[in-house]
Chains A and B, each alone.
Chain A
């Protein structure tokens, strides 16, 4: 269990760090982005053992990443987007998209709808998490 957890953290750390390289993030922020991504994934996989709801744990994971990005942004005086874009990537429901498509081509339409709706809701919950933290941290929201 513990070893599995360590592997998960390592994998998510490196996946996020290399993703940050793809986005050409500033050199001095890349390690922090990795920490951000792996903490998000840690929370995400911890809640998997508590609730088996993919939607809820995506929400919690994304909320963690989003809040941490805003904090890091203030700490390192960089735009929060830098930390957010790469940090959120491990939570993006790529697997959901794939399984939806797989069920579709096998003509299991009810399973496809099942998976598809779950994928859409996971994407939605990630968005809501980002929306909540950005609204809390930015008072400029009043300008709308």
Chain B
């Protein structure tokens, strides 16, 4: 669940509910965006502790929804533990988005953002192309195990390059609308909402770590765009 963008309090809650539904005496959990700690006390006073490290974090809301549903049904004793485990197993094998579809969707999303921010039709079309392209680049880079910071930096610079190419050299579209539209899908909207919700539920550790994550993503995108624009201004002999 944590890998797919649920808040930490929801993870802790789920674990506690599941443990209460079985015959376990007491349970303590501590979840952060990078790991889960669980300590349970069995009826004959034995303690078992387990730590689960969370290494990759993406957003897949339908997995959150399905895991939530399965655990709810299990707690209400509508399904047995074997059924629950088998449906979880099934869920973990469902692949995430098709790559082509995800590129298309990201592109169209960028295009609509460019239009929403007052861009003309051309801006929307260029942003669609640009958004799709940087998504493709990001997928390739992530598959090569390159850190998220660098991926965002590169995506930002490619966005700026494409925007400069179209608006300054080919003279179609507005540079600002294209760039803003294309970076919208990269921005850390989820990290911000997650950080706030975690903080008000008292999970200060996960709140601050997600906040730092959001800040880092924003800075890396901005510097990626900034470097290219700065070089472009320099080449034009400005400044």
Residues of A with Cβ closer than 8 Å to B? Answer: 7-8, 11-12, 14-15, 18-27, 29, 41, 78-79, 81-82, 84-86, 88-90, 92, 94-95, 97-102, 104-107, 123, 126-127, 130-131, 134-135, 140-141, 143-144
By beta carbon, the residue of chain B nearest A66 is B193
**For residue B185, which residues in chain A have a CB less than 8 angstroms away from its CB?**
19, 22
Residues of B with Cβ closer than 8 Å to A? Answer: 5-7, 9-10, 13, 59-66, 68, 96-97, 101-102, 105-106, 108-109, 112-113, 115-117, 176, 179-180, 183-185, 187, 189-190, 192-197, 199-202, 218, 221-223, 225-226, 229-230, 233, 239
A95–B116 CA distance with the chains assembled, in angstroms = 11
Instruction: Give 19 A-B pairs besides A84-B193, A101-B223 with Cβ atoms closer than 8 angstroms.
Output: A14-B108, A19-B109, A23-B59, A26-B65, A78-B65, A79-B10, A79-B65, A82-B65, A85-B59, A90-B113, A92-B189, A94-B184, A98-B180, A100-B222, A101-B229, A102-B176, A105-B230, A127-B196, A144-B201
A98–B66 CA distance with the chains assembled, in angstroms = 37
Neighbour of B202 across the interface among A20, A97, A143, CB < 8 A: A143
**For residue B116, which residues in chain A have a CB less than 8 angstroms away from its CB?**
8, 11-12, 15, 41, 90
Q: Does the CB pair B112–A14 fall under 8 Å?
A: yes
Q: Does the CB pair A98–B179 fall under 8 Å?
A: yes
Ordered by A's residue number, 12 sampled pairs between the chains whose C-beta atoms are within 8 Å are: A14-B112, A15-B109, A15-B116, A19-B185, A26-B61, A79-B6, A79-B10, A79-B64, A81-B193, A84-B193, A85-B189, A85-B194
A7–B170 CA distance with the chains assembled, in angstroms = 27
Shortest Cβ gap from B223 to chain A (Å): 8
Q: Does the CB pair A82–B197 fall under 8 Å?
A: no
**For residue B102, which residues in chain A have a CB less than 8 angstroms away from its CB?**
22
Given A15-B109, A22-B109, A24-B96: A104 and B226 within 8 A (CB)? yes
Neighbour of A105 across the interface among B64, B97, B117, B229, CB < 8 A: B229
Shortest Cβ gap from B163 to chain A (Å): 10
Q: Does the CB pair A130–B105 fall under 8 Å?
A: no
Shortest Cβ gap from B91 to chain A (Å): 12
A79–B193 CA distance with the chains assembled, in angstroms = 14
A-B complex: 6 closest residue pairs judged by Cβ atoms? A144-B202, A15-B112, A18-B109, A11-B116, A127-B196, A25-B61
